[in-house]
């Protein structure tokens, strides 16, 4: 659109036609205050804070509803305007309780800021304020009516943003009140967006309530550890008697791929870290019982036994199970440790999507994978299978926002009438389990139609849907784990012009686990097990015979050929339904946060830190690489990275070969840094980004990240951008050839909005929400 020129406070500025005045002002640094205006939500004009004087208009106008026009002359700071703002604050404070000292929003309250800016300190009113008692609407949502200024942000973000429509307004005039959908309580997705968006302390969170004050916390931007969407979450941490306690999760600064969106898990389910059942001491089985031991004992025993078994029976006698929730560096290190130190290809993890097949199908074709940001901007989206509202909340948010704000077209092919069909331009409900047929049909095989006709999906409607899809350009295709092996290739090769693909996995770093080669037949970057692979050149001679999958390991253990099992952050016993007694003859080491079913049968249990308590990187299901930063801290646990290195050391392995530490070019010990911490931070980011920071420690994941970037082609991304906190898309098409798999090895996690595998089991918030919903806990217990 054409650019228009206008004058604001004597400043000339240019903005595209159709821009709202409030945004145009913001673009040149003129802040027009507002409560009800919120970018990307519908306009209200209700709070009257953004009144400005526009020349030739008799009355003051709201900047949030006025579209700029050519030659407009605006005053945002005249006496008249300031008086108008002051009187609005005065009126609001009339009924607003002055309980800032106990209000959770105190210190980050927009009304406080406005009162400071426009100085309505003196009260003109003498009568009693209107009062209403506080209400609890759900385990995580509290509502304090007197504090509410009725900006309707919560109503809109719940309705327009989340498509839940659980909040509304009751009564009128001064008795107007925000009300939940079920009279006195909420029935919703408990995402907490309403609390996050509330400019004052009217909506407060049950998880953060009265725990601390905003300025008491440090804020660390990291990546969520729950589903595979990879939301950036900013964790507020505060020192506690056992380290650093995470007290809040949000993304108010709107950085990252998710803007300010977080679901219930990202926002509240960090509390598993402080579960009373958390392991904080290594356990060694003595006389058949797991009893506390020191770290040194545990590492020495693990190292001694692994070394003996490797020497006596060879590496094939040791199995390694990795995790979908540990960092890329840890997964890579585990992969390397298994091959290099243990000498085995018996490496596996719980697979939730067929990434090797996608890598194979897209081999050599770069630019055909979509990032999470692409979902927000694509003109059309095709979703096959899955229910993103439950399983991929961010993906669902991106799709909804794209449809709402950019009029993107969504096409849904699903066996269930999933909620996203409400946004869909085309919806085909196919029979359960017919996803593969749907792919065949979309790829051009009309014979597959017979398997698809079902309920409202007729032959004609399906053909029409396919025609519409073929007419779209720039389609983003997201497909569920039911699409595996050859079906992935078929889908990728179907005739959709310029389509980009997303394989939907289930855990925070499922993609990373796949990318880092936690497969018995693939090395990092989907490299095959050849003698001349770049990893063989780097790491030395590696075993080339494909190893055992998890079920095969159990069978081998039962047969007595698998002598040892090393499990890092996984629960294969529960997830794969293994017989725990199969391993009674094997030496089992488990690294985990809790005494899971797998940990219970172990000989050594090592208490592990979770992803909020360590640093590294995660790759989300789209392939977006993001930083994981240490936020919380619990005394008595160690990161998986450190434990792997310590075990290698205890086995007598030269650790420097495993983690290339100590190699940096300059030993900058801080002497060249400025006095101000900001400068020091920038300096260290710069050094780290250019690989100049010395790797002083064998436990430094950046040393491994260097190696990943060097050896895995798809991870050749901008280091500087990554460290600056931005997401970097890794293109699986640039990776190795991948391979076909036994489809039965892909097991969906079946987590919904309120469950998250083992983490969910120990999250007080998730459990209380579940109880509140009277929903039966998922019968299937989580694995990772």
Query: Which positions touch other proteins (CB under 8 A)?
Result: 43-49, 51, 58-60, 65, 83-84, 87-88, 90-92, 94-95, 99-102, 106, 124-127, 130, 134, 149-150, 169, 171-176, 209-213, 215-216
Which residue number, 81 or 420, has a Cβ lying nearer to other proteins? 81
Give CA–CA dist 43/591, Å, rounded.
51
CB-hemisphere CA count at 13 Å for 566? 32
Which residue number, 111 or 647, has a Cβ lying nearer to other proteins? 111
Give CA–CA dist 566/587, Å, rounded.
8
Which residue number, 90 or 330, has a Cβ lying nearer to other proteins? 90
Cβ at position 116, least distance to other proteins in Å: 15
Cβ at position 199, least distance to other proteins in Å: 13
Question: Are the C-beta atoms of residues 424 and 418 closer than 8 Å to each other?
Answer: no
- Cβ-in-10-Å burial (0-12, 13-18, 19+) of 210 comes to exposed
Cβ at position 24, least distance to other proteins in Å: 17
Cβ at position 136, least distance to other proteins in Å: 12
SS3 311: helix
Which residue number, 213 or 454, has a Cβ lying nearer to other proteins? 213
Cβ at position 36, least distance to other proteins in Å: 9
Q: Which DSSP symbol is given to 622?
A: T
Which residue number, 241 or 532, has a Cβ lying nearer to other proteins? 241
Of 434, 469, 475, 428, the C-alpha closest to 451 is 434
- Supply the DSSP string of 625-640, one letter for each residue: EEEE----EETT-B-H
- Cβ-in-10-Å burial (0-12, 13-18, 19+) of 97 comes to middle
Cβ at position 85, least distance to other proteins in Å: 10
Which residue number, 66 or 639, has a Cβ lying nearer to other proteins? 66
Which residue number, 74 or 395, has a Cβ lying nearer to other proteins? 74
H, E, C per residue of 239-263: EECCEEEEEEEECCCCCCCCCCCCC
Cβ at position 278, least distance to other proteins in Å: 20
Cβ at position 38, least distance to other proteins in Å: 15
Give CA–CA dist 292/738, Å, rounded.
43
Give CA–CA dist 141/164, Å, rounded.
15
Question: Are the C-beta atoms of residues 486 and 392 closer than 8 Å to each other?
Answer: no
Question: Are the C-beta atoms of residues 281 and 292 closer than 8 Å to each other?
Answer: yes
Cβ at position 58, least distance to other proteins in Å: 8
Query: What does R_g of the chain's alpha carbons equal in angstroms?
Result: 28
Cβ at position 111, least distance to other proteins in Å: 11
Which residue number, 239 or 656, has a Cβ lying nearer to other proteins? 239
Which residue number, 135 or 561, has a Cβ lying nearer to other proteins? 135
Give CA–CA dist 466/415, Å, rounded.
17
- Cβ-in-10-Å burial (0-12, 13-18, 19+) of 75 comes to middle
- Which residues partner with 52 through β-bridges? 61
SS3 288: coil
Which residue number, 172 or 289, has a Cβ lying nearer to other proteins? 172
Cβ at position 94, least distance to other proteins in Å: 6
Which residue number, 210 or 460, has a Cβ lying nearer to other proteins? 210
Largest separation between any pair of C-alpha atoms in the chain: 93
Question: Are the C-beta atoms of residues 761 and 278 closer than 8 Å to each other?
Answer: no
Cβ at position 131, least distance to other proteins in Å: 13
Which residue number, 175 or 530, has a Cβ lying nearer to other proteins? 175
H, E, C per residue of 174-217: HHCEEEECECCECCCCCCCHHHHHCCCCCEEECCCCCCCCHHHC
């Amino acid at each position: 659109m054409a650019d228009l020129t206008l004058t604001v406070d004597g400043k000339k500025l240019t903005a595209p036609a159709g821009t709202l005045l409030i945004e145009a002002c913001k673009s040149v640094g003129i802040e027009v205050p507002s409560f009800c205006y919120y970018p990307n939500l519908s306009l209200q004009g209700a709070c009257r804070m953004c009144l400005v004087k526009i020349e030739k208009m008799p009355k003051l106008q709201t900047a949030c509803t006025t579209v700029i026009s050519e030659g407009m002359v605006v005053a945002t700071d005249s006496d008249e305007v300031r008086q108008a703002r002051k009187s609005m604050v005065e009126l609001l404070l009339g009924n607003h309780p002055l309980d800032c000292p106990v209000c959770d929003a105190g210190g980050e309250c927009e009304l406080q800021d406005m009162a400071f800016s426009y100085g309505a300190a003196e009260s003109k009113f003498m009568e009693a304020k209107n009062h209403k008692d506080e209400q609890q609407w759900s385990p995580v949502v509290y509502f304090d009516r007197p504090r509410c200024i009725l900006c309707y942000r919560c109503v809109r973000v719940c309705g327009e943003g989340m498509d839940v429509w659980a909040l509304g307004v009751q009564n009128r005039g001064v008795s107007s009140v925000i009300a939940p959908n079920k009279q006195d309580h909420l029935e919703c997705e408990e995402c907490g967006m309403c609390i996050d968006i509330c400019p004052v302390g009217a909506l407060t969170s049950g998880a953060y309530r009265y725990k601390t004050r905003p300025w008491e916390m440090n804020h660390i931007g990291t990546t969520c550890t729950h589903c595979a969407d990879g939301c950036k979450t900013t964790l507020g941490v505060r020192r506690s008697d056992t380290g650093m306690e995470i007290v809040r999760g949000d993304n108010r600064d709107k950085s990252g791929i998710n803007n300010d969106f977080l679901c219930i898990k990202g926002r509240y389910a960090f509390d598993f870290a402080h579960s009373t059942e958390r392991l904080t001491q290594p356990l060694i089985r003595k006389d058949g019982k797991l009893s506390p031991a020191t770290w040194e004992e545990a590492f020495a025993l693990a190292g001694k036994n692994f070394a003996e078994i490797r020497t006596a029976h060879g590496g094939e006698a040791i199995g390694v199970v990795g995790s979908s929730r540990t960092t890329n560096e840890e997964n890579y290190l585990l992969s390397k440790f298994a091959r290099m130190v243990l000498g085995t290809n018996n490496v596996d993890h719980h697979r939730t999507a067929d990434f090797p097949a996608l890598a194979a199908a897209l081999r050599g074709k770069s630019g055909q994978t979509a990032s999470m940001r692409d979902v927000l901007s694509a003109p059309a989206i095709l979703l096959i299978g899955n229910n993103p509202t439950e399983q991929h909340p961010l993906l669902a948010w991106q799709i909804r926002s794209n449809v709402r704000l950019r009029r993107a077209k969504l096409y849904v092919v699903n066996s269930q009438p999933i909620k996203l069909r409400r946004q869909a331009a085309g919806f085909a409900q196919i029979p359960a389990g017919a996803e593969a047929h749907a792919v065949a049909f979309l790829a051009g095989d009309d014979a597959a139609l017979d398997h698809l006709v079902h309920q409202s999906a007729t032959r004609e409607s399906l053909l029409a849907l396919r025609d519409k899809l073929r007419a779209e350009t720039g389609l983003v295709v997201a497909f569920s784990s039911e699409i595996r092996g050859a079906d992935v290739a078929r889908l990728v090769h179907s005739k959709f012009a310029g389509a980009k693909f997303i394989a939907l996995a289930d855990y925070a770093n499922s993609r990373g686990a796949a990318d880092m080669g936690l497969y018995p037949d693939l090395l990092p970057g989907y490299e095959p097990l050849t003698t001349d692979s770049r990893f063989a050149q780097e790491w030395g001679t590696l075993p080339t015979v494909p190893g055992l999958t998890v079920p095969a390991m159990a069978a081998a253990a039962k047969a007595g050929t698998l002598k040892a099992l090393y499990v890092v952050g996984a629960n294969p016993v529960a997830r794969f339904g293994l017989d725990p007694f199969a391993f009674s003859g094997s030496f089992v080491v488990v690294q985990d946060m809790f005494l899971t079913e797998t940990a219970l049968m172990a000989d050594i249990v090592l208490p592990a830190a979770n992803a909020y308590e360590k640093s590294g990187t995660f790759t989300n299901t789209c392939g977006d690489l993001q930083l994981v930063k240490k936020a919380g801290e619990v005394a008595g646990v160690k990161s998986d990275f450190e434990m792997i290195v310590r075990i290698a050391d205890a086995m007598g392995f030269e650790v420097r070969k495993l983690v290339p530490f100590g190699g940096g070019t300059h030993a900058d010990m801080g002497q060249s840094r400025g006095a101000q911490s900001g400068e020091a931070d920038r300096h260290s980011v710069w050094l780290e980004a250019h690989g100049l920071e010395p790797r002083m420690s064998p436990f430094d994941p950046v040393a491994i990240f260097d190696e990943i970037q060097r050896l895995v082609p798809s991870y050749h991304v901008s280091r500087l951008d990554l460290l600056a906190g931005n997401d970097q898309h890794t293109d699986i098409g640039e990776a190795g050839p991948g391979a076909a798999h036994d489809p039965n090895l892909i097991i969906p996690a079946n987590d919904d909005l309120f469950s998250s595998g083992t983490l969910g089991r120990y999250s007080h918030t998730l459990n209380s929400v579940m109880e509140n919903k009277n929903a039966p806990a998922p019968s299937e217990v989580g694995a990772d």
